[in-house]
Amino acid sequence: MLFWEALASVLIGLVIAYGALHRLPRRLPARPLVLSTGPASALLGALLTHTVLGSGHTAAVLIVALGFAAALLSLLIRPARTRRRRSVPA
């Protein structure tokens, strides 16, 4: 069962990473970093949750994997660049 949870969490991480790249292409770093962070963080979240809860909690494991992937991908987002206006001295 752990194998299927791990595989599903990696797929969840890839989906979240692709979604982030599609939605925020200019605010994320290099594509390979994002595509590796998503699955790795989801797998970490799934393994950690499986260790804490034990077997038989597949839904909770996958939900936490989704949360881990979203949280760690959000740390990669750079702030939006805003144009600063110069004030003209009077």
pLDDT one-digit tens code per residue, 19-63: 999 998 888 899 999 999 999 999 999 999 999 998 889 999 999
When pLDDT is cut at 50, 70 and 90, the band that residue 79 belongs to is: confident
Residue among 70, 83, 85 nearest 38 (CA): 70
32 token code pair: 């390979």
* CB-based contacts of 89, cutoff 8 Å, min separation 6: none
Cβ–Cβ < 8 Å for 49, 65? yes
Cα separation values, 23 from 27, 31, 54, Å: 9, 13, 35
Q: Residue holding tokens 């597949």?
A: 58
